[in-house]
Amino acid sequence: MSKIFGYLLAAILVVLAASTTYLLWTMAGWRVGVQIAAILVVGAIGEHYISGQGYYHYTKSKTNGFFVGRVPLWIPFMWVFAVQGTLVFSLMMGLPAAGAILGSGLLGAVLDLVVIEPVLSRERALWTWTPVENGYLGFLPAQVDRFTAPPGNYLVWLLFPAVANWLLYGLMILFP
């Protein structure tokens, strides 16, 4: 694969993140900007701490495209899209606010388990996790072990969308 893949991935995620931001902006206005800032700050702190500790690293292959520090340019757009997209999807499914917030967390974990880690990490090798002996969940039979990353990563993707989307709704309640 070429560097074009990373640039194409960045362009697609910019469009997707802009789309979910627009949809939420029509509902929540300026509060979406606060949510995006929170997503980016928490994501940047997480990237700095977790990848800085050596738990994983983004491959410097051409497929990741342009880097900002240690992080490919497309990653922050993926965070925004994943967090907001799970909320938009939950709302489109007709869930009330509280259900949509909880649904966004569940969808975030499923998205990470089924798409993000297996496809982008395992298959495309856009980042690699530091291996541990017998795998992260060595007690699972190999045919059902879909865990590319440590279990804590999936827990973060369960909590991160729910907390970030709860922040958005909280702001809407506090500042009607």
For 94-130, how does the pLDDT look when each residue is reduced to its tens digit (9 = 90+)?
A: 999 999 999 999 999 999 999 999 899 988 889 988 7
Overall size of the chain counted in residues: 176
The pTM for the full model equals: 0.89
- pLDDT range class, residue 141, cuts 50, 70, 90: low
- Sketch the domain layout of the chain as residue ranges: 3-174
Per residue in 120-130, pLDDT (tens digit) is 998 888 998 87
**Which whole number is the average pLDDT over 77-82?**
97
Interatomic CA distance for residues 20 and 137, integer angstroms:
34
Query: 55-64, 141-150, 160-169: lowest mean pLDDT where?
Result: 141-150
Query: Given CA atoms 10, 65, 36, 89 in this order, what sign does their dihedral have?
Result: positive
- Structure token pair of residue 161: 């969308």
